[in-house]
Amino acid sequence: MSVLTRDEAQTRAQLLDVRRYTIELDLTTGDETFGSRTEIRFTTRTGADTFVELKPAELLSATLDGQPLDPETLDGNRLPLKNLTAGEHELRVEATMRYSRTGEGMHRFTDPTDGEAYVYTQLFMDDVQRVFAAFDQPDLKSVFELSVKAPESWTVLTNSVTDPTDGVWRAAPTPLISTYLVAVAAGPWHSVTTEHRGLPFGLHCRRSLAPHLDADADELFEITRQCYDRYHEKFAEPYPFDSYDQAFVPEFNAGAMENPGLVTFRDEFVYRSAVTDVERQTRAMVIAHEMAHMWFGDLVTLRWWDDIWLNESFAEYMGYQTLTEATRFTDTWTDFGVVRKGWGYDADQRPSTHPVAPEAVDDTASALLNFDGISYAKGASALRQLVAWLGEKDFLAGINTHFERHKFANATLADFIDSLAAHTDRDVHAWADAWLRTTGVDTLTPSVTRGADGTYTLQVDRTGSRPHHIAVGLYDLDVADEGRHLVLRERVDLDVPQAEPQPIGKRPTLLLLNDGDLSYAKVRFDPDSFDGVRTALSGLPEPLSRAVVWNALRDAVRDGELPAAAYLETARAHLPHETDLALVQGVLSFAAAQIAGRYLTAEERPAALATLSALCRDLIRRTEDGDHPGLRLIAVRHFIDVAAHPEPIAAWLADGTVPGGPELDPELRWRVLSRLAVLGATDEATIAAELERDPSATGQEGAARCRAALPDAESKARAWEAMFTADDLSNYLVAATAQGFWQPEQADLVRQYVPRYYTDAVAVAARRGPAIADVVGRWAFPVFAVDTETLRLGEECLRDSEPIPALRRKLVDQLDDLGRALRVRQETHQS
């Protein structure tokens, strides 16, 4: 299949204006394929040749201006349109299309709980071609008019309000939107509806999840209304579509997709089991993020994929900021600092890094690789820094000018910067060059000097070239509290690079750069401040300040400047006193997955797990009064994950509860059983019995994970066959199997599969495409094998095996992380 290049898209955009798509889909033709009829009305400015994209199971017919086209001329995914004359044209295409099992195109899922089938589209980037014929590029916007024939018991959702008649659901024509934003979701949905400000709102999920959606519907609608109202306070342009549906769909590859009028979410956000408040906050942030896209991406759309930051960075920033301003989740930037910031920092230090706004993305395959921590987290961090530097009033004025100039059209980075520049005297073009056109993470390091009068000055050294507007927190120990807490003396605003050293008075116990986390940079501590961190980190008064410190410690470990064991010691000392759930979750996750899992050797791992187990026990004891259920749930989950011996968690499973709570709901039961499988303390019969108890889609994934984790050669062989040879597992079941397969405790058992991984991953990615390539590159990589031979084999694969772009990118990143882990081990042992 040919990918679309930037040059081809520009040529076609100069040639065509696309007026209207009329699309008829028939979802009643069986479980494997569906019918697709497309009529495209377009005009050409001059006479020329071009092409339309389509990936059919079978192209049945095509006519251009009433004249038949030869279906045999379809070349891969391109149907040539020859000898076009200037003026109006009509293209009609009829095809049979395949349902997907990988979350691309029209995905079909059968719910194992009740046997009901559901389908939905994910047409992002170039997957619209799997559903209907299209001139598939974002700057050829058009009106779309859909009709969908569906089984009698089904409901059909689209971008617009739909009207069912005799089994055919007809949708109102859309405003001008891009091809990748067209959406259909069909099945026997359970729906909850309401209305807000005259606009219909809907929530939809599989019938088997109905009780769980009903339990959270009020919360979901409240978040939706609050964000909707706040965006209308910020934006002069009103919501541009005729309805707002949110469908929670199965086996979704992304977190969500911003289809106008019909946002699709992964249905793990319909919680079947107990969750923490920070998880509810994450769901709320995704709702806010996707709603922001109705303006950033849907109303005004990028012209080409080099400006994906205009979609994702803005939705990311607006999601967190609006949630903080409009909902009960008032501390979202701490979660951003803990989770998203690290994602951006990690991505920006790999060989695959790229600017937030790269100057050229050659084709759609390259563009797909840029949906990463840079386009989301780094871009949002850059915008937060821009607001701090520019001021929110001028920032919002520039945004509203941008909407006014480009609504229902397309725009570029230059267009956006021009809109901002109209409302400020600051040089936003220079800011964009420094922040959006460069790569890498700056590092800020303090230098404190004592003057002759006994007072101190601060000089901040910077590696990198970006200007930073930051706050510096000066903290002193609270002598009235025996030195356990820190008191903020002052926050000093500082521009880096500095014109001259900054006076700070007496020497603080802790000098914290980037306090408030308004910029995007790694920070370091001077020696006295590092002593203050180790003494009183948990005594910092604000969680966002503590997040900056924990991120600094994390970065220092990854850079080989802080021994991994020292991070564990700090966590052991301070995490039992932490109150912020995002921080507890983030620190435990990094300590377990990276420090115990990769940065320490196999011989050092048991002691690290024992430390983490003791830490979790402390948190469990601290929450026995029942006042902190979220904190207790996090501690219980992590205690299960790091258990070195089966007895305590096996007793929990047998009793159905943790002493003092919580009861073991399906998520916790599968988590315990998975760890017992790793430890060799369960068997196939027990897994089968648990699956009978929970036959849901999540139960199927839990069983696949457990079976792949069983420590015997036969189970590993079956799991490998399922992942890499059979080709019948869905995207989610491949991921679950991969998550169970590699275990540090089973290194000798699975070592033979390390060289096989590279050849088999390349082959399955070539057969099954980018979505499966992403899964096997992310989850099936042998992360436990931190050794030079694994690195050598991977480098050889990249050099000689020609993996498809989606897998190549994952391997480049995985091998860079592997090389980093080897360096951390070496530097730790040398020190």
- Strand, coil or helix: what is 625? coil
* Residue at 826: amino acid letter: Q
Helix axes 309-326, 379-390, angle to 10 degrees: 60
Per-residue pLDDT tens over the stretch 735-776:
999 999 999 999 999 999 999 999 999 999 999 999 999 999
Which residue has tokens 């951003």? 336
Phi, then psi, of 42 in degrees rounded to 5: -150, 165
Average model confidence (pLDDT) across the chain: 96
For the record, the structure tokens of 765 come out as 């990615």
DSSP labels for 250-313?
Answer: TT-SSSEE--TTEEEEEGGGS-SS---HHHHHHHHHHHHHHHHTTTBTTTEEESSGGGTHHHHH
Contacts of 199 (CB under 8 A, 6+ apart): 239, 242, 243, 244
From first CA to last CA, the distance across the chain in angstroms is 52
**CATH architecture group of domain 6-188:** Sandwich (2.60)
What does the pLDDT read at residue 360?
Answer: 83
* Residue at 152: amino acid letter: E
pLDDT for residue 795 is more than 70: yes
User: H or E element: which one contains 38?
Assistant: strand 33-44
What does the pLDDT read at residue 234?
Answer: 97
DSSP 170: E
290 is catalytic: yes
Task: Give mean pLDDT, residues 283-296.
Answer: 98
Alpha-carbon span 809 to 816, nearest angstrom: 11
Length of the chain in terms of residues written: 831
Phi, then psi, of 740 in degrees rounded to 5: -85, -20
Adjacent-strand bridge partners of 461: 445
Adjacent-strand bridge partners of 119: 108, 186
CB atoms within 10 A of CB 664: 24
* Residue at 85: amino acid letter: T
Cα-trace Rg, the chain = 27
What does the pLDDT read at residue 483?
Answer: 59
Task: Give mean pLDDT, residues 544-564.
Answer: 97
738 touches 773 (CB < 8 A): no
Widest CA span in the chain: 91
- Alpha-carbon distance values, 222 to 217, 410, 525 (Å): 8, 32, 42
pLDDT for residue 1 is more than 70: no
Phi, then psi, of 459 in degrees rounded to 5: -120, 130
Task: Give mean pLDDT, residues 568-590.
Answer: 97
Adjacent-strand bridge partners of 106: 121
pLDDT bracket for residue 828 (50, 70, 90): confident
What does the pLDDT read at residue 354?
Answer: 96
For the record, the structure tokens of 158 come out as 């689209």
466 touches 442 (CB < 8 A): yes
Alpha-carbon span 41 to 228, nearest angstrom: 34
pLDDT > 70: percent of the chain: 99
For the record, the structure tokens of 351 come out as 């060989």
* Half-sphere exposure in the Cβ direction for 139 (13 Å, CA): 21
pLDDT for residue 109 is more than 90: yes
Closest CA to 343 of 273, 255, 266: 255
Task: Give mean pLDDT, residues 586-599.
Answer: 97
Alpha-helix residue ranges (DSSP H) falling in 472-522: none
Alpha-carbon span 728 to 265, nearest angstrom: 24
- Strand, coil or helix: what is 202? strand
Cα-based angle 817, 818, 819 (whole degrees, multiple of 5) = 90
- Alpha-carbon distance values, 405 to 303, 401, 770 (Å): 14, 6, 36
Alpha-carbon span 321 to 384, nearest angstrom: 9
Alpha-carbon span 6 to 438, nearest angstrom: 21
Contacts of 779 (CB under 8 A, 6+ apart): 734, 735, 738, 739
Superfamily for the 210-240+268-441 domain? Neutral Protease Domain 2 (1.10.390.10)
Residue 793 Rama label (left phi>0; alpha psi -120 to 50; beta): alpha
Q: What share of the chain is helix, strand, coil (3-state, %, to 5)?
A: 50, 20, 30
For the record, the structure tokens of 31 come out as 């479980």
Task: Give mean pLDDT, residues 656-684.
Answer: 97
Candidates 258, 290, 312, 316; catalytic one: 290
Alpha-carbon span 528 to 535, nearest angstrom: 11
CB atoms within 10 A of CB 519: 23
Contacts of 765 (CB under 8 A, 6+ apart): 772, 773, 776, 777, 803, 804, 806, 807
Task: Give mean pLDDT, residues 237-257.
Answer: 97
Strand stretches in 335-427, DSSP E: 409-411
What does the pLDDT read at residue 831?
Answer: 61
pLDDT > 90: percent of the chain: 97
Per-residue pLDDT tens over the stretch 196-210:
999 999 999 999 999
Q: Which long-range contacts (CB under 8 A, 24 or more apart) does 486-490 make?
A: 486/510, 486/532, 486/536, 486/539, 486/540, 486/541, 487/541, 488/541
DSSP 130: G
Alpha-carbon span 26 to 99, nearest angstrom: 12
What does the pLDDT read at residue 676?
Answer: 98
Find how far residue 62's CA is from the centre of its chain: 39
Per-residue pLDDT tens over the stretch 718-737:
999 999 999 999 999 999 99
Model-level pTM greater than 0.75? yes
User: Which burial class, exposed, middle or buried, applies to 799 when counting CB atoms under 10 A from its CB (0-12, 13-18, 19+)?
Assistant: exposed
Per-residue pLDDT tens over the stretch 321-354:
999 999 999 999 999 999 999 999 999 999 999 9
Alpha-carbon span 22 to 12, nearest angstrom: 21
pLDDT bracket for residue 479 (50, 70, 90): confident
* Residue at 780: amino acid letter: A
pLDDT for residue 555 is more than 70: yes
Task: Give mean pLDDT, residues 430-456.
Answer: 96
- Alpha-carbon distance values, 322 to 282, 288, 385 (Å): 13, 7, 16
What does the pLDDT read at residue 705?
Answer: 98
Task: Give mean pLDDT, residues 642-646.
Answer: 97
What does the pLDDT read at residue 481?
Answer: 67
- Strand, coil or helix: what is 627? coil
pLDDT for residue 478 is more than 90: no
Task: Give mean pLDDT, residues 663-687.
Answer: 98
User: Which burial class, exposed, middle or buried, applies to 43 when counting CB atoms under 10 A from its CB (0-12, 13-18, 19+)?
Assistant: middle
For the record, the structure tokens of 757 come out as 């991984």
pLDDT bracket for residue 626 (50, 70, 90): confident
Alpha-carbon span 172 to 161, nearest angstrom: 6
